[in-house]
Amino acid sequence: MRKRIRDYGVVIGKHQPGPLNKLSDVPGVLVGHATVDTKEHKTGVTVILPSQDNLFANKLTAAAYVHNGFGKTTGVLQIEELGTLETPIALTNTLNVGLVQDALVDYMLKRCREDQISVSSVNAVVGECNDSYLNNIRDRVLGKEHVFEAITSACTDFEEGDVGAGKGTSCFGMKGGIGSASRVLKIGGADFVIGVLVQSNFGSTENFILNGAMVGRELEKKISERQKDEGSIMMVVGTNLPVSDRQLKRLIRRAGVGLSRCGSYMGHGSGDIMLGFSTANRFYYKETNPFFQTRMLREEELDPAFEAAAEATEEAILNSLSMAHTVTGYHGRTRYSLTDLYLADWEKGR
Protein backbone atom coordinates (compact mmCIF):
# COMPACT_ATOMS: atom_id res chain seq x y z
CA MET A 1 0.00 0.00 0.00
CA ARG A 2 1.36 3.40 -1.01
CA LYS A 3 1.59 6.23 1.52
CA ARG A 4 1.49 9.97 1.05
CA ILE A 5 4.61 11.94 1.89
CA ARG A 6 3.10 13.32 5.12
CA ASP A 7 2.57 9.72 6.33
CA TYR A 8 6.37 9.39 6.37
CA GLY A 9 6.57 12.33 8.78
CA VAL A 10 7.57 14.81 6.09
CA VAL A 11 5.69 18.06 6.76
CA ILE A 12 6.06 20.73 4.11
CA GLY A 13 5.75 24.37 5.19
CA LYS A 14 3.86 26.02 8.03
CA HIS A 15 0.26 26.28 6.81
CA GLN A 16 -2.28 23.61 7.74
CA PRO A 17 -3.71 21.33 5.03
CA GLY A 18 -7.41 20.85 4.42
CA PRO A 19 -9.30 17.71 5.56
CA LEU A 20 -8.19 15.61 2.57
CA ASN A 21 -5.04 17.62 1.79
CA LYS A 22 -6.11 17.63 -1.87
CA LEU A 23 -7.32 20.06 -4.51
CA SER A 24 -10.86 18.84 -3.73
CA ASP A 25 -10.71 20.58 -0.34
CA VAL A 26 -11.78 23.62 -2.35
CA PRO A 27 -15.59 23.38 -1.96
CA GLY A 28 -17.30 21.97 -5.03
CA VAL A 29 -14.18 20.61 -6.73
CA LEU A 30 -14.09 16.98 -7.94
CA VAL A 31 -11.37 15.02 -9.74
CA GLY A 32 -11.74 11.85 -11.83
CA HIS A 33 -9.46 9.51 -13.74
CA ALA A 34 -9.58 6.99 -16.56
CA THR A 35 -6.51 4.76 -16.91
CA VAL A 36 -5.25 2.54 -19.72
CA ASP A 37 -2.90 -0.08 -18.32
CA THR A 38 -1.64 -2.73 -20.77
CA LYS A 39 1.78 -4.11 -21.66
CA GLU A 40 2.37 -1.40 -24.28
CA HIS A 41 0.11 1.37 -23.02
CA LYS A 42 0.55 3.18 -19.71
CA THR A 43 -1.50 6.33 -20.03
CA GLY A 44 -4.81 7.97 -19.19
CA VAL A 45 -6.80 11.11 -18.63
CA THR A 46 -7.50 13.11 -15.46
CA VAL A 47 -10.36 15.62 -15.34
CA ILE A 48 -10.80 18.41 -12.80
CA LEU A 49 -14.37 19.65 -12.32
CA PRO A 50 -14.23 23.00 -10.48
CA SER A 51 -18.01 22.86 -9.90
CA GLN A 52 -20.95 20.60 -10.66
CA ASP A 53 -23.08 23.17 -12.45
CA ASN A 54 -22.69 24.21 -16.09
CA LEU A 55 -19.34 25.98 -16.33
CA PHE A 56 -20.13 27.50 -19.71
CA ALA A 57 -23.21 29.17 -18.23
CA ASN A 58 -21.51 30.04 -14.93
CA LYS A 59 -17.90 30.86 -15.74
CA LEU A 60 -15.12 31.04 -13.16
CA THR A 61 -12.24 33.43 -12.73
CA ALA A 62 -9.19 31.79 -14.33
CA ALA A 63 -5.53 32.42 -15.10
CA ALA A 64 -2.67 30.70 -16.89
CA TYR A 65 1.08 31.10 -16.79
CA VAL A 66 3.61 29.44 -19.06
CA HIS A 67 6.93 29.30 -17.22
CA ASN A 68 8.63 27.27 -19.95
CA GLY A 69 6.60 26.61 -23.06
CA PHE A 70 7.76 23.20 -24.27
CA GLY A 71 4.15 21.93 -24.29
CA LYS A 72 0.91 21.45 -26.20
CA THR A 73 -1.73 22.85 -23.83
CA THR A 74 -5.01 24.08 -25.36
CA GLY A 75 -7.32 26.81 -24.13
CA VAL A 76 -4.63 29.01 -22.57
CA LEU A 77 -4.96 31.80 -25.15
CA GLN A 78 -8.58 32.60 -24.26
CA ILE A 79 -7.92 32.30 -20.53
CA GLU A 80 -5.13 34.85 -20.95
CA GLU A 81 -7.45 37.20 -22.86
CA LEU A 82 -10.73 36.90 -20.93
CA GLY A 83 -9.66 35.61 -17.51
CA THR A 84 -12.43 33.02 -17.30
CA LEU A 85 -12.84 29.23 -17.35
CA GLU A 86 -15.84 27.66 -19.09
CA THR A 87 -15.02 23.92 -19.16
CA PRO A 88 -13.51 21.33 -16.85
CA ILE A 89 -9.72 20.97 -17.09
CA ALA A 90 -8.43 17.72 -18.60
CA LEU A 91 -4.87 16.36 -18.40
CA THR A 92 -3.51 13.64 -20.69
CA ASN A 93 -0.50 12.65 -22.84
CA THR A 94 1.01 14.84 -25.55
CA LEU A 95 -0.40 13.12 -28.65
CA ASN A 96 -3.88 12.72 -27.17
CA VAL A 97 -4.52 16.42 -26.54
CA GLY A 98 -6.65 16.85 -29.68
CA LEU A 99 -8.74 13.75 -28.99
CA VAL A 100 -9.34 14.73 -25.38
CA GLN A 101 -10.19 18.29 -26.37
CA ASP A 102 -12.72 16.96 -28.88
CA ALA A 103 -14.33 14.80 -26.20
CA LEU A 104 -14.42 17.71 -23.74
CA VAL A 105 -16.18 19.84 -26.36
CA ASP A 106 -18.71 17.03 -26.87
CA TYR A 107 -19.31 16.89 -23.13
CA MET A 108 -19.92 20.65 -22.88
CA LEU A 109 -22.19 20.74 -25.93
CA LYS A 110 -24.24 17.87 -24.46
CA ARG A 111 -24.45 19.64 -21.11
CA CYS A 112 -25.53 22.89 -22.76
CA ARG A 113 -28.21 21.13 -24.83
CA GLU A 114 -29.59 19.62 -21.64
CA ASP A 115 -29.60 23.06 -20.00
CA GLN A 116 -31.06 24.74 -23.12
CA ILE A 117 -28.09 27.02 -23.58
CA SER A 118 -27.10 28.07 -27.09
CA VAL A 119 -23.42 27.45 -27.88
CA SER A 120 -21.43 28.28 -31.02
CA SER A 121 -17.94 28.12 -29.49
CA VAL A 122 -16.39 26.64 -26.36
CA ASN A 123 -12.86 26.95 -24.97
CA ALA A 124 -11.88 23.45 -23.82
CA VAL A 125 -8.78 23.42 -21.58
CA VAL A 126 -6.43 20.44 -21.92
CA GLY A 127 -2.90 20.04 -20.55
CA GLU A 128 -0.37 17.32 -21.26
CA CYS A 129 2.84 15.55 -20.40
CA ASN A 130 4.81 13.24 -22.69
CA ASP A 131 4.61 9.69 -21.28
CA SER A 132 6.34 7.97 -24.22
CA TYR A 133 9.07 6.36 -22.09
CA LEU A 134 6.52 3.92 -20.63
CA ASN A 135 3.68 4.31 -23.12
CA ASN A 136 3.44 3.60 -26.84
CA ILE A 137 2.17 7.13 -27.31
CA ARG A 138 1.86 6.92 -31.10
CA ASP A 139 -1.12 4.56 -30.83
CA ARG A 140 -3.20 7.36 -29.27
CA VAL A 141 -5.39 4.88 -27.39
CA LEU A 142 -7.48 7.40 -25.45
CA GLY A 143 -10.91 8.34 -26.73
CA LYS A 144 -14.18 9.99 -25.83
CA GLU A 145 -15.19 7.10 -23.57
CA HIS A 146 -12.17 7.67 -21.34
CA VAL A 147 -12.88 11.38 -20.92
CA PHE A 148 -16.52 10.66 -20.05
CA GLU A 149 -15.41 7.91 -17.65
CA ALA A 150 -13.11 10.35 -15.87
CA ILE A 151 -15.92 12.90 -15.58
CA THR A 152 -18.55 10.46 -14.30
CA SER A 153 -16.13 8.91 -11.78
CA ALA A 154 -15.01 12.27 -10.36
CA CYS A 155 -15.02 12.46 -6.56
CA THR A 156 -13.41 14.34 -3.67
CA ASP A 157 -11.10 11.58 -2.35
CA PHE A 158 -9.51 10.79 -5.71
CA GLU A 159 -6.53 8.52 -6.34
CA GLU A 160 -2.95 9.73 -6.73
CA GLY A 161 0.24 8.27 -8.20
CA ASP A 162 0.33 6.19 -11.39
CA VAL A 163 -3.29 6.73 -12.32
CA GLY A 164 -5.12 8.64 -15.03
CA ALA A 165 -2.88 11.14 -16.81
CA GLY A 166 -0.07 10.13 -14.46
CA LYS A 167 -0.03 6.44 -15.35
CA GLY A 168 3.00 6.67 -17.65
CA THR A 169 4.82 9.77 -16.48
CA SER A 170 8.37 9.97 -15.08
CA CYS A 171 9.74 12.38 -12.50
CA PHE A 172 13.40 12.85 -11.51
CA GLY A 173 14.12 9.54 -13.22
CA MET A 174 11.55 7.78 -11.01
CA LYS A 175 7.87 7.01 -11.43
CA GLY A 176 5.91 10.24 -11.43
CA GLY A 177 2.17 10.74 -11.61
CA ILE A 178 -0.75 12.63 -10.14
CA GLY A 179 -0.26 14.32 -6.78
CA SER A 180 -2.24 16.84 -4.79
CA ALA A 181 -2.17 18.92 -1.62
CA SER A 182 -4.02 21.84 -0.04
CA ARG A 183 -3.63 24.62 2.50
CA VAL A 184 -6.22 26.46 4.59
CA LEU A 185 -5.88 30.19 5.23
CA LYS A 186 -7.83 32.45 7.59
CA ILE A 187 -8.29 35.91 6.12
CA GLY A 188 -10.71 38.50 7.48
CA GLY A 189 -12.10 35.95 9.95
CA ALA A 190 -13.06 33.46 7.21
CA ASP A 191 -11.38 30.24 6.06
CA PHE A 192 -10.21 29.85 2.46
CA VAL A 193 -8.57 26.94 0.69
CA ILE A 194 -5.78 26.79 -1.86
CA GLY A 195 -5.44 23.40 -3.52
CA VAL A 196 -2.95 22.10 -6.07
CA LEU A 197 -2.94 19.09 -8.38
CA VAL A 198 0.11 18.18 -10.45
CA GLN A 199 0.87 15.80 -13.31
CA SER A 200 4.60 15.29 -12.72
CA ASN A 201 6.92 14.37 -15.58
CA PHE A 202 10.05 16.49 -15.08
CA GLY A 203 13.37 16.92 -13.30
CA SER A 204 16.93 15.62 -13.40
CA THR A 205 17.68 12.79 -10.97
CA GLU A 206 20.77 14.38 -9.43
CA ASN A 207 18.88 17.57 -8.52
CA PHE A 208 16.01 15.91 -6.63
CA ILE A 209 15.39 17.51 -3.21
CA LEU A 210 13.22 15.93 -0.52
CA ASN A 211 12.12 18.52 2.05
CA GLY A 212 15.45 20.35 1.77
CA ALA A 213 17.62 17.21 1.64
CA MET A 214 19.70 16.71 -1.51
CA VAL A 215 18.99 13.02 -2.07
CA GLY A 216 19.25 13.03 -5.87
CA ARG A 217 22.88 11.94 -6.06
CA GLU A 218 22.16 9.02 -3.75
CA LEU A 219 19.26 8.01 -6.00
CA GLU A 220 21.44 8.29 -9.11
CA LYS A 221 23.45 5.29 -7.88
CA LYS A 222 20.27 3.19 -7.93
CA ILE A 223 18.91 4.34 -11.31
CA SER A 224 20.54 2.92 -14.44
CA GLU A 225 19.03 5.50 -16.80
CA ARG A 226 19.25 8.92 -15.21
CA GLN A 227 16.91 11.65 -16.27
CA LYS A 228 17.78 15.18 -17.39
CA ASP A 229 15.64 18.17 -16.48
CA GLU A 230 13.15 17.69 -19.27
CA GLY A 231 9.63 16.38 -19.72
CA SER A 232 6.83 18.54 -18.35
CA ILE A 233 4.69 19.33 -15.36
CA MET A 234 1.11 20.53 -15.29
CA MET A 235 0.26 22.46 -12.12
CA VAL A 236 -3.42 23.25 -11.49
CA VAL A 237 -4.17 25.64 -8.63
CA GLY A 238 -7.73 26.01 -7.36
CA THR A 239 -9.08 28.27 -4.64
CA ASN A 240 -12.25 29.82 -3.23
CA LEU A 241 -10.35 32.98 -2.43
CA PRO A 242 -12.00 36.02 -4.06
CA VAL A 243 -9.31 37.26 -6.44
CA SER A 244 -9.24 38.92 -9.84
CA ASP A 245 -7.74 37.05 -12.79
CA ARG A 246 -4.67 39.27 -12.49
CA GLN A 247 -4.25 38.39 -8.81
CA LEU A 248 -4.85 34.74 -9.62
CA LYS A 249 -2.07 34.82 -12.18
CA ARG A 250 0.26 36.22 -9.52
CA LEU A 251 -0.84 33.42 -7.21
CA ILE A 252 -0.33 30.51 -9.62
CA ARG A 253 3.14 31.73 -10.55
CA ARG A 254 4.17 30.86 -6.98
CA ALA A 255 3.66 27.21 -7.87
CA GLY A 256 7.07 27.60 -9.51
CA VAL A 257 8.57 28.11 -6.05
CA GLY A 258 7.32 24.69 -4.97
CA LEU A 259 8.64 23.22 -8.20
CA SER A 260 12.11 24.61 -7.57
CA ARG A 261 12.08 23.45 -3.95
CA CYS A 262 11.89 19.91 -5.33
CA GLY A 263 15.00 20.53 -7.43
CA SER A 264 13.77 21.67 -10.84
CA TYR A 265 15.43 24.54 -12.67
CA MET A 266 12.86 24.28 -15.48
CA GLY A 267 15.25 23.10 -18.17
CA HIS A 268 15.09 23.64 -21.91
CA GLY A 269 13.10 20.47 -22.63
CA SER A 270 10.55 20.90 -19.85
CA GLY A 271 7.06 22.34 -20.28
CA ASP A 272 6.19 23.99 -16.97
CA ILE A 273 2.59 25.15 -17.13
CA MET A 274 0.40 26.65 -14.39
CA LEU A 275 -3.39 26.85 -14.64
CA GLY A 276 -5.62 28.36 -11.99
CA PHE A 277 -9.24 28.97 -11.12
CA SER A 278 -11.20 30.64 -8.33
CA THR A 279 -14.75 29.60 -7.45
CA ALA A 280 -15.47 32.81 -5.52
CA ASN A 281 -16.89 34.94 -8.34
CA ARG A 282 -19.20 33.58 -11.04
CA PHE A 283 -19.95 35.16 -14.40
CA TYR A 284 -23.45 34.14 -15.43
CA TYR A 285 -24.41 33.50 -19.04
CA LYS A 286 -27.96 34.83 -18.57
CA GLU A 287 -26.96 37.99 -16.71
CA THR A 288 -28.69 41.04 -18.27
CA ASN A 289 -27.15 43.72 -16.08
CA PRO A 290 -24.26 45.36 -18.00
CA PHE A 291 -22.19 45.35 -14.78
CA PHE A 292 -20.87 42.42 -12.80
CA GLN A 293 -20.29 42.79 -9.08
CA THR A 294 -17.31 40.87 -7.72
CA ARG A 295 -15.28 40.63 -4.52
CA MET A 296 -11.52 41.02 -4.62
CA LEU A 297 -8.89 40.53 -1.96
CA ARG A 298 -6.72 43.49 -1.02
CA GLU A 299 -3.32 43.15 -2.64
CA GLU A 300 -1.54 43.37 0.72
CA GLU A 301 -3.33 40.21 1.90
CA LEU A 302 -1.89 37.95 -0.81
CA ASP A 303 1.37 36.94 0.88
CA PRO A 304 -0.08 34.01 2.88
CA ALA A 305 -1.74 32.75 -0.30
CA PHE A 306 1.59 32.92 -2.13
CA GLU A 307 3.20 30.85 0.63
CA ALA A 308 0.35 28.36 0.57
CA ALA A 309 0.55 27.87 -3.20
CA ALA A 310 4.28 27.18 -2.99
CA GLU A 311 3.88 24.74 -0.09
CA ALA A 312 0.98 22.86 -1.66
CA THR A 313 2.81 22.51 -4.98
CA GLU A 314 5.92 21.08 -3.31
CA GLU A 315 3.85 18.59 -1.32
CA ALA A 316 1.73 17.67 -4.35
CA ILE A 317 4.87 16.79 -6.32
CA LEU A 318 6.19 14.66 -3.46
CA ASN A 319 2.80 12.94 -3.17
CA SER A 320 2.89 12.15 -6.89
CA LEU A 321 6.18 10.34 -6.25
CA SER A 322 5.39 8.60 -2.97
CA MET A 323 1.97 7.36 -4.15
CA ALA A 324 3.26 5.93 -7.44
CA HIS A 325 4.05 2.24 -7.89
CA THR A 326 7.04 0.91 -9.81
CA VAL A 327 5.81 0.52 -13.41
CA THR A 328 7.19 -1.51 -16.33
CA GLY A 329 5.79 -0.49 -19.68
CA TYR A 330 6.61 -0.05 -23.37
CA HIS A 331 9.74 -1.93 -24.58
CA GLY A 332 10.08 -3.38 -21.07
CA ARG A 333 11.25 -0.07 -19.64
CA THR A 334 10.85 0.42 -15.89
CA ARG A 335 10.48 3.46 -13.70
CA TYR A 336 10.98 2.68 -10.02
CA SER A 337 8.96 4.43 -7.37
CA LEU A 338 10.46 6.76 -4.78
CA THR A 339 9.03 4.43 -2.12
CA ASP A 340 10.86 1.38 -3.47
CA LEU A 341 14.09 3.28 -4.14
CA TYR A 342 14.32 5.36 -1.00
CA LEU A 343 11.35 5.99 1.30
CA ALA A 344 10.84 2.43 2.59
CA ASP A 345 14.48 2.10 3.72
CA TRP A 346 14.61 5.70 4.93
CA GLU A 347 11.55 5.13 7.13
CA LYS A 348 13.14 2.03 8.70
CA GLY A 349 16.28 3.98 9.54
CA ARG A 350 14.57 6.99 11.14
**Does the pLDDT value for residue 287 go beyond 90?**
no
Four-CA torsion 263, 265, 268, 271, nearest 10 degrees: 70
Q: Which member of 24, 232, 244, 337 is catalytic? A: 232
Catalytic residue among 182, 272, 278, 320: 272
Least confident interval from 12-21, 204-213, 228-237, 282-291:
282-291
pLDDT for 69 equals: 83
Beta-bridge mates of residue 232: 201, 271
- For residue 122, the model assigns a pLDDT of 97
Is 51 marked active-site?
A: no
Q: Calculate what percentage of the chain has a pLDDT beyond 70.
A: 98
Span 75-134, pLDDT tens digits: 999 999 999 999 999 999 999 999 999 999 999 999 999 999 999 999 999 999 999 999
Q: What is the pLDDT of residues 207-238, one digit of tens each?
A: 999 999 999 999 988 887 766 777 899 999 99
Averaged pLDDT, 241-260:
97
> Tell me, what's the pLDDT at 293?
83
Closest Cα partner for 160 from 12, 44, 67, 276?
A: 44
- Measured distance CA(30)–CA(118) in Å, rounded: 26
pLDDT value, residue 294: 86
Q: Please indicate whether residue 272 is annotated as part of the active site.
A: yes
pLDDT at 112: 96
Instruction: Identify whether the C-beta of residue 62 lies closer than 8 Å to the C-beta of residue 275.
Output: yes
For residue 290, what pLDDT band results from cuts at 50, 70 and 90?
A: confident
Strands (E) located in the chain: 30-37, 42-49, 58-69, 84-85, 89-93, 125-129, 170-171, 174-175, 178-187, 190-201, 209-210, 213-214, 230-239, 269-284, 327-328, 334-335
- Split at pLDDT 50, 70, 90, the class of 285 is confident
Q: Which of 270, 278, 320, 322 is catalytic?
A: 270
Q: Is 121 a catalytic residue?
A: no
Query: Whole-angstrom Cα distance, residue 128 to residue 195?
Result: 19
Q: What is the pLDDT of residue 227?
A: 66
Residue 306: per-residue pLDDT: 98
pLDDT at residue 347, rounded to an integer: 79
In the chain, which ranges are continuous DSSP H helix? 76-82, 97-114, 144-152, 216-220, 245-253, 255-261, 303-322, 338, 344-348
Do 23 and 197 contact (CB within 8 A), yes or no? Answer: yes
Nearest to residue 198, comparing CAs of 219, 173, 176, 225? 176
| CB atoms closer than 10 angstroms to residue 170 | 26
The Cα 254–Cα 250 span in angstroms is: 7
Q: How far apart are CA 129 and CA 177, in angstroms?
A: 10
pLDDT digits (tens, 9 = 90+) for 40-84: 999 999 999 999 999 999 999 999 999 888 889 999 999 999 999
Mean pLDDT of the chain: 94
- Asked if 281 and 215 count as a contact pair (C-beta separation under 8 A), the reply is no
pTM tops 0.95, yes or no:
yes
The pLDDT value recorded for residue 350 is 61
The angle subtended at Cα 128 by Cα 123 and Cα 132, nearest 5°, is: 150
Q: Phi/psi at 279 (nearest 5 deg)? A: -90, 5
Chain-centre distance for alpha carbon 26: 14
